[in-house]
Structure 1
Amino acid sequence: MTGVVVAEWTKFRSLRSVLVTVGLTVVLAVVFGVLISSGQARQYAELTAAERAAFDPTYVSLIGCFTFAQLAIGALGVLSVTSEYATGTIRPSLAAVPRRGRLLAAKAVVLGAAAFVAANVAVFAAYLGGQPTLSGMDAPSSTLDDPHVLRAVLGAGWWLTAVALLGVGVGMLVRSTAGAFTVVVASTLLVPLVSGLLPEWFARWWPTTAGQQVLRVVRDPDALPPFAGIAWMYAAVAAVLLLGHLSLRLRDA
């Protein structure tokens, strides 16, 4: 297994798109984290007492992570698989590693580790950029020493890593970069956007929406608890990876 992981790492870091997507993940998280923090700070004075009580400065600075940065890191997960199908290198990979489950596991390990590092750089940079923006505009801000704040920031990294792994599973199922990326965007961004039009239980149990609760310091009483939400999201991602494994075993390369 060690040799397979090393081989997958060599293939992964040789992709020209890796540095671009990793850089975009960090840049989008920071830029939009600051811009959204600035916009929310300007509106704070106009909020009602109830809205101020629900104001979550940590969550505000991390919104850019799951609104924009997730697009880049999801694409990274997709490309780690579909690039091999596009170039035909999946065939020699399967010849070298006949146990297809081991190949997929190695891809998930390499992509998960790389995404985890990139995601944590992105979320901490977004948080550290957003909080001074809020405090500088006389809106509430937080520090990492405050209750549940560190959990929320680390949770944003877990959430982004799950999106990247989702890209691996969907990429293995769809085998097309455009098609797989469309599925990832729809499931992580578009479906949550329209969840307000759907029954209340849908938003509570949709995996990516449930997972976002780990980013919140001020809890939504109608949503799953933070750790239960992120665990449910990882369970759903594991199910997609399992389907990807079955597809890899049953379909020709």
Structure 2
Amino acid sequence: MTTAIAALPRKRVSLPRVVKSEWIKFWSVRSTFITLSIAVLLLIGFGLLASSLYGDGSDPGGPPGNEPTDPIGASFTGTNFALLAFGALGVLFTAGEYSTGMIRSSMAAVPKRLPVLWAKVAVFAAVVFVVALAASAVVFTAGQALIGDGGASWSDPGVARAVIGTAGLLTGSGLLGLGLGALLRSTPGAITTLFGVMFLLAMVAALLVPESWSDVVQYLPSEAGDAFTAVTQEPDALSPPAGLAVFGGYIAATLGAAAWRIRRSDV
């Protein structure tokens, strides 16, 4: 029996095979379905609620202090809530393996290590972008139907960019969570850091940064994300391409730091 097992041919480790392995792991965990469902429900549920309250624009609805200023913004009121859910999913996809010890098996099967990270990125980005894009299209279409005559249409300038950009923002927040999970290897620590970076950092900067340095705030991750998803551009905000570049830079830096630690550490 031992001789027969030893005689079996060993398949070469390749990126497609690692991607297939990560795909199976991603869908074999119950939290994937639960978190994806919660994220979609938050995006669509809050968006439809705000759209139903928007009316003719005199009562924009939405959370106090965060009311949408246009009908498109009303449909995407749930973006920040979904952002945290997708981010948490990204954290669980990497930090979860460290907490269970499964990462040892993954690294033993793929000695070069980094293909494991890149495979996780590919699987996560593909799934989340498709889900987020579908949910964004649904909430925009249904939300504008609820608003009625005062709503926007797909042919309006900037609408397609807002829908696709929202899906990109949600996917990017998940990739930030994925990178933080691999870097910090702690689910609570990575989720807390993601929340601080995407929400608290901008609030603290707005309160503490001197007025002469106010331009720095627009380069924070949350502000850069808003720049490429908003239809109506604020005068002190980055342009959509610049916002996308800055936000993508944060993702690249986080994943790069995670890759560096994976190469340097024993596990």
Alignment partner, residue 180 of structure 1: 190
User: Which residues of 2 match residues 140-179 of structure 1 at below 5 A?
Assistant: 140-179=150-189
| 1:188-207 mapped onto 2 (5 Å cutoff) | 188-199=198-209, 200-207=214-221
* Partner SS for 2:172: helix
TM-score (norm 1): 0.89
Please list every run of 5 or more consecutive structure 2 residues that lacks an aligned counterpart in the other structure.
1-14, 61-67
Q: Which residue of 2 aligns with 1:93?
A: 106
Equivalences for 1:6-25 in 2 at 5 Å? 6-25=20-39
2:48, 2:143 within 8 Å by CA — same for their partners in 1? yes
| Identity, % of aligned positions | 40
For residue 149 of structure 1, what is the amino acid of its counterpart? V
- Indicate the structure (1 or 2) with the bigger Cα radius of gyration: 2
Aligned partner letter, 2:202: P
Please report the RMSD computed on the Cα atoms of aligned residues, expressed in angstroms: 1.9
Residue by residue over 1:133-184, the C-alpha shift from the partner in whole angstroms, topping out at 9 and shown as x without a partner, is: 322xx6x310111111111111100111100110111001111111111111
CA distance in 1, matches of 2:199, 2:25: 29
Q: Distance in 2 between matches of 1:92 and 1:194?
A: 41
Q: Of residues 68, 87, 90 in structure 2, which corresponds to 1:74? A: 87
1:63 counterpart SS class: coil
Partner of residue 218, structure 1? 232
Residues 11 and 61 (structure 1 numbering): CA distance in 2 closer, same or farther, change over 3 Å?
A: same
**What SS does the aligned partner of 1:69 have?**
helix
Alignment-derived partner of residue 84 in structure 1: 97
Once the two structures are TM-superposed, the CA of residue 216 in structure 1 deviates from its matched residue by 1.2
- Matched to 1:203, the amino acid is V
Q: State the Cα distance separating 1:194 from its structure 2 match.
A: 4.0
Structure scoring higher RCO (CA < 8 A, sep ≥ 6) equals 1
Q: How many Å separate the matches in 2 of 1:164 and 1:214?
A: 17
What is the CA-CA distance between 1:35 and the residue it aligns to? Answer: 2.1
Residues 203 and 210 in structure 1, CA contact (< 8 A), matched pair in contact too: no
The 2-side partners of 1:38 and 1:44 are apart by 13
Aligned partner of 1:50 in structure 2 is: none
| Conserved 8 A contact 1:188-1:208 | yes
Find the aligned partners of 1:74 and 1:59 in 2 and give their Cα distance.
Answer: 21
Q: Which amino acid aligns with 1:230?
A: L
Structure with the higher helix share, 1 or 2? 1
Aligned residues between the structures? 242
TM-score by length of 2: 0.85
Give the partner amino acid of 2:158: H
Q: 5+ residue gaps in structure 1?
A: 47-53
Aligned to 2:241: 227
